[in-house]
Amino acid sequence: MTKINGYTARDRAWHPPALTPLYKTSVARSPRFAPLGFATSLSEETGPVFGHDILGPRDNDLIHNFTGESAIGPRIIVQGRVIDEVGRPMPHTLVEVWQANAGGRYRHKKEGYLAPLDPNFGGCGRCITDENGFYEFRTVKPGPYPWPNGADDWRPAHIHFSVFGHSFAQRLISQLYFEGDPMIWQCPIVGTIPTREGIESLVAKLDRQNSVPMDALCYQFDIVLRGRRQTMFENRMEGL
Ligand SMILES: [Fe+2]
């Protein structure tokens, strides 16, 4: 790590280039001109502020938080810590997740996959890390799904997540994959990540010790904001 005045310099080689034509959407989305800098406004730097009072009792239980009845699919727990580059926990951090159901279908009006909706699964959840940076969700394992990119491309099972710091300007977004899934290595979006180490930073590890017998398998997934062990974020290549 390069240190400048005691701070770790950002590693801009960690993230995929903006233009990666095998991921077709990147062609239209990537900038054609050099970036322009804008000063952030006060509201972008100071808000919004989230507290535990915004959370409902089922916000981190995607199995039940849509209708109260159980969603269909393999029940899992996803847990871990949000930490900085030297392993310090990040307390009071809003972690939001969204995902397809167990059949690989999103509850979204533009969804084009023929797999059925689950009437008891909405696909969204959130929680706030505790004083040790710990977070936890209960959900069903999402299914893989086909998407219109190449002739027959499939997304591996994944959970989208967002980490909110102290303001809008600090929001980070990425995706979590599951250990042992062969589809990870065939995905054109995953394939834009330059290093195997970067890809593996997005793979949650099966954790049998924290699994609940006859209920749910557990996956461990730490979110690292910067440094050599940083999670690969989609919207900000260097983390925070
Ligand atoms: Fe997705």
In the chain, what are the domains?
3-26+56-224 (2.60.130.10)
User: Helical H runs in the chain?
Assistant: 25-29, 42-46, 196-200
Which residues make Cβ contacts (< 8 Å) with residue 89, sequence separation at least 6? Answer: 81, 82, 83, 129, 131, 132, 133, 134
Kindly give the distance from the C-alpha atom of residue 102 to the centroid of ligand 1, in angstroms, as a whole number. 12
Kindly give the distance from the C-alpha atom of residue 106 to the centroid of ligand 1, in angstroms, as a whole number. 8
Kindly give the distance from the C-alpha atom of residue 198 to the centroid of ligand 1, in angstroms, as a whole number. 19
pLDDT at res. 43: 83
Tell me the whole-structure pTM to 2 decimals: 0.90
pLDDT at res. 32: 92
Rounded (10°) CA dihedral 193, 128, 117, 76: 80
Which residues form the catalytic set? Answer: 106, 145, 155, 158, 160
Kindly give the distance from the C-alpha atom of residue 129 to the centroid of ligand 1, in angstroms, as a whole number. 23
Per-residue pLDDT of the chain (240 residues; tens, 9 = 90+): 566 556 666 677 888 889 999 999 999 999 999 888 888 888 888 878 777 788 999 999 999 999 999 999 999 999 999 998 889 999 999 999 999 999 999 999 888 899 999 999 999 999 999 999 999 999 999 999 999 999 999 999 999 999 998 788 788 999 999 999 999 999 999 999 999 999 999 999 999 999 999 999 999 999 998 766 677 777 776 665
pLDDT at res. 65: 97
Residue 240 near residue 171, CB atoms below 8 Å: no
Kindly give the distance from the C-alpha atom of residue 174 to the centroid of ligand 1, in angstroms, as a whole number. 10
